[in-house]
Structure 1
Amino acid sequence: MKHPQYNPALDNPPLTEAEMDELDQLLLSAATDESVMDMESLDGYLTALLLTPTLPDADVWVPGLWNSDDPDSSPFASGKQTKRVVQLALRHLASIDRQLKEGPDTLEPLFGIAEIPGSDDASDVVVDAELWCIGFLHAAALTPDHWNAMFDDPELADQLAPIILLGGDPDSMTPEQVEMIASSEARDALSRMVPEAVSALYARAVAARN
């Protein structure tokens, strides 16, 4: 199967709320115990793709949506469903790309948000970027040479730490690292640091392209 490549020159309007719900449900319908991707993790996944000097081939990153490396694989019941998922994912990729180009500060990542019980302030919420970071690291695994260099760069270590902590496997962490993500308050603080990491990585990607 030859999946369509991302073309930033095409007119790709942002997904409507209904289309985001549709894509979320399609992804969840194809999920297995080994692979669960929803809109939060997809958003992180697509963001990571755009932070590389060269976007991976669609036949590499599209199967990754359902945790496969086979371009001919699809967990959906029909080719029509597969095509719809790819179409919607490409449009969301374009939306993230536009935000990054306008300025990383305009990026609105899809993080989990929960209201604080007992608070009368609607803006008083706890943010959790775990699923977003899991998706981000999943995409990073597609181009390990590039991302290993980023993760090993001491200049980026502090900025990338929140993504690694929130999206990493707790079983592979030290007790100190597990403690750093143990409370909702700690996860909220780390989650709010993720956009800064995206800004730093985007600057690196732009510099590498020029």
Structure 2
Amino acid sequence: MQAQPLNAADFSLIEDTLLKHGNDHSVLNPSELDGYFTALVSGPKHVEIEAWFPAIWGGQHPDWESPEEARQFFDLCVRHINTLARQLAEEPHAFVPRCEQTEHQGHTVTLAEEWCFGYLRGVQVANWPPLPTPQAELLGAISDCAEQDNFELPADLDVASHQQQVAELAPAVRALHDYWLSQRAPTLHAPQIKAP
């Protein structure tokens, strides 16, 4: 069960739980969580559950209504992080960041700010060391995208340029994953996380 990809109902439950228990310092939605997990499985070393799970909530565990509620959310997280780890290691070209979309000036626009913000959260939690210049530039492109304001897109937004920037995220993520994969010990390739 921990290897089964999440479906739409699972992501909806994740969103409801993040909204219910979130705060000013927590992950806000499934898009940000997807970016967060992507960075965790892409980095130089395995990150323990004890580090990454509280960081979803800004360092504090939620006041769960029941052990079942906590277990259900945790199990969904484990399934999704394992799916991402496996996909990036075995089918990297199938990887697509889970971004939200909106309508703007008659165009469908993919919004990546929150996904990128989650990715940077993952980089911080995983404590990535400094990168060589080519990889640092890739991470810089993700960081630049995280600083966009998706709440009020400007009326004169260059949609084509904006969407090109979003389209460049997946190749950047794959390249960063491949870089760190080449630096890891063989036993750390695509680790699978097991729920305790």
Q: Deviations over 1:144-165 (max 9, x none)?
A: 3x2x412xx2112332222111
Indicate the residue corresponding to 1:86 in structure 2: 74
Aligned equivalents of 2:34, 2:158: Cα separation in 1: 21
Equivalent residues in 2 for 1:153-172, closer than 5 Å: 153-168=132-147
Cα root mean square deviation, aligned: 2.3
Q: Secondary structure at the match of 1:13?
A: coil
Indicate the residue corresponding to 2:99 in structure 1: 111
Indicate the residue corresponding to 1:64 in structure 2: 55
What is the CA distance between 1:184 and its match in structure 2?
Answer: 6.0
Partner residue of 2:62 out of 74, 84, 91: 74
User: Among the aligned pairs, what percent are the same residue?
Assistant: 26
Q: Secondary structure at the match of 1:149?
A: coil
Q: Tell me: higher relative CO, structure 1 or 2? Use CA pairs within 8 A at least 6 residues apart.
A: 2
What is the CA distance between 1:191 and its match in structure 2?
Answer: 1.4
Runs of 4+ with >6 A deviation: none
Aligned equivalents of 2:66, 2:72: Cα separation in 1: 10
Indicate the residue corresponding to 1:188 in structure 2: 163
Q: Secondary structure at the match of 1:191?
A: helix
When normalised by structure 2's length, the TM-score is 0.80
Query: Are the equivalent residues in 1 in contact too, given 2:40–2:126 (CA < 8 A)?
Result: no
Indicate the residue corresponding to 2:192 in structure 1: none
When normalised by structure 1's length, the TM-score is 0.75
Range 51-60 or range 28-37, more displaced: 28-37
Matched residue pairs, number? 178
Alignment partner of 1:126 is 2:109 = yes
Indicate the residue corresponding to 1:41 in structure 2: 32
Structure 1 alignment gaps of length 5 or more: 1-9, 120-124, 171-181
Q: Secondary structure at the match of 1:141?
A: helix
